[in-house]
Amino acid sequence: MSHPEHVIDIFLQPGEFYFGDRGTRIRTLLGSCVAITMWHPMLRVGGMCHYMLPVRGGKPDGTLDGRYADEAMAMFQREIRGVGTRPEDYQVKVFGGGNMFSKQRHCELQQPCGNVACRNVQAARLLLDSHGHKVMAEHVGEHGHRNVVFDVWNGDVWMRHVKNGVLLEKAKEIEQDKCPNR
């Protein structure tokens, strides 16, 4: 599908969430934070979250806060129910969790760790699995930051990974077999 005539261009700041229709492009910039994209190919609706931490410390005040993985996932589930669909109907992709300190050792994402980036990625995997989502692609971990652009009209996700000021990867559709750490 070609570019829609009128596009709403949304830029997510840390802690923000957006779910829209086929006239939407969603962008974000990630360091240790994680972005999850979900896209329904039949309805051409989908969204992205940009969370900062796995869970909120202390007691929540009753409103969902997109800064936390578990609450961002609850926002997705609310939208999925709202359009009358099921979690397994969505194409899901995960990005981010980059170590922003080049001198700090890169953690192994399959092991428990104290690094917030690593914990963010682990939270995404656990939450998505527990809600019945299947991740079709991810680009997570390592060092550096990522720019992510999600075109809701066709489900394409574009990502750039920059490490120590060097562009490492520019790709349309990060395929699972090309993604590290999976």
> What are the catalytic residues?
33
Classify the C-alpha dihedral 52-9-93-91 as positive or negative: positive
List, in sequence order, the alpha helices (H) in 94-134: 116-130
Segments of the chain assigned E as strands? 8-12, 17-20, 24-30, 34-40, 45-51, 91-96, 135-140, 145-151, 156-163, 166-172
| Bridge pairing between strands 91-96 and 145-151 | unpaired
Tell me, rounded to whole angstroms, the distance of Cα 155 from its chain centroid: 13
DSSP state of 107: P
CA triplet 112, 48, 173: central angle to 5 degrees? 85
d(CA 49, CA 76): 8
